[in-house]
Amino acid sequence: MTKMKIFVYNYREFDEAEYFQKFAEEYGVELGICTDAPTLENAHLAEGYKYVSIITSKIDAELMERFHELGVKMISTRTIGYDHVDLAAAEKFGISVSNVSYSPECVADYTVMLILMSIRKMKRIMQRAEVNDFSLPGIQGRELPNFTVGVLGTGRIGRAVIRDLSGFGCRIYAYDKYENESVKEHAQYADLDTIFRECDLITLHMPLEEENFHLIDRKALEKMKDGVVIVNTARGGLIDTKALIEGIESGKVGAAGLDVIEDEFGLYYYDLKSDILSKRDLYILRGFPNVVVTPHMAFYTDQAVSDMVKHSIESCLLREAGEEDPWKVL
């Protein structure tokens, strides 16, 4: 029996390899491997493979057409978000697209960490401690039970965040196009204007779509409380970065915890310490004492990496078998 073949781009030896080997053997799959992101220059490596697995690499119309010419029938992204894949081009060239799911706890845990770091001014505390400045002025924090928190997006991750935050005793509002009954045990659904007006802290857990691009913009910030705290572990494009910077500079935004930023393609996950980066907004954000910026790491746990690899392979197998694929995007 011929093994099903999957070509894997962005293959990481240091963390994914053991899981790819484990699940390829378990499912009887043959893997082609490239450690680089897919490009027009290396797309030919996928010739002879119907299925391609990627990470957060931009697949534009030109690259999609090239994969089509090579006989690729499906692209599986080993991520929850899929805004890096040109879906219109995929549909045009008849290429299916899928994503993956992984334990929501990894991002939920990280979100709570960023919330606590933001309201307890942890960046300032750590910076001062590094130079033996143990003074108190300017680092007084706030307590989470005194906060009204708005959670935008109540999918698996948003629900896990709400569950975790409920243990701190804060009041929680939630927003989603599709309400979930289990959320109502700990939170009250409200419209965006109510959340912007009433909440001391807003945390984002939505996929990036055309309709919510720059959901947090100048107009939204104007509706928020002075000193609002904003946390984003979802997608950078949900926030208008320039508007956020203006809000921080004016004091409208009291603190921010950002695991994602706009236009991060080609930035994460590479060693660029010796490079000059044309990411001016990133430098500005990192320079603020009340802003914590991390390099899209909320997902990064052993369980999540295992899930991402396993579900990418399973998605391809289900499509090959003509069975229902729970990770189907297109």
Domain ranges for the chain, please list them. Answer: 4-102+301-321, 105-293
The yes-or-no answer on residue 235 being catalytic is yes
Model confidence pLDDT, tens digit, residues 224-264: 999 999 999 999 999 999 999 999 999 999 999 999 999 89
Give pLDDT, residue 36: 95
Predicted TM-score (pTM) of the model is 0.91
User: What is the number of other CB atoms lying within 10 angstroms of the CB of residue 177?
Assistant: 10
Going by pLDDT thresholds of 50, 70 and 90, the confidence category of residue 270 is confident
Give pLDDT, residue 302: 96
Give pLDDT, residue 243: 98
Q: The domain 4-102+301-321 belongs to what CATH superfamily?
A: NAD(P)-binding Rossmann-like Domain (3.40.50.720)
Q: The domain 105-293 belongs to what CATH superfamily?
A: NAD(P)-binding Rossmann-like Domain (3.40.50.720)
Give pLDDT, residue 8: 98
**Is the pLDDT confidence value at 134 over 70?**
yes
Beta strands 253-258 and 228-232 are parallel
Over pLDDT 90: what percentage of the chain? 96
Give pLDDT, residue 265: 81
Catalytic one among 296, 311, 314, 319? 296
Q: Rounded to whole angstroms, what are the CA distances from 325 to 91, 198, 206, 318?
A: 17, 40, 22, 6
Token representation of residue 249: 């500079």
Model confidence pLDDT, tens digit, residues 86-129: 999 999 999 999 999 999 999 999 999 999 999 999 999 999 99
Give pLDDT, residue 166: 98
Catalytic one among 66, 78, 159, 235? 235
The yes-or-no answer on residue 296 being catalytic is yes
**Is the pLDDT confidence value at 268 over 70?**
yes
Give pLDDT, residue 254: 98
- Torsion sign over Cα 235, 178, 304, 91: negative
Q: Do domains 4-102+301-321 and 105-293 have the same CATH topology?
A: yes
Q: How many residues does the chain have?
A: 330
SS3 of residue 182 by DSSP: helix
End-to-end CA, the chain: 29
Give pLDDT, residue 266: 80
Catalytic one among 84, 156, 262, 264? 264
Going by pLDDT thresholds of 50, 70 and 90, the confidence category of residue 1 is low
Average pLDDT score over the chain:
97
Give pLDDT, residue 2: 75
**Is the pLDDT confidence value at 298 over 80?**
yes
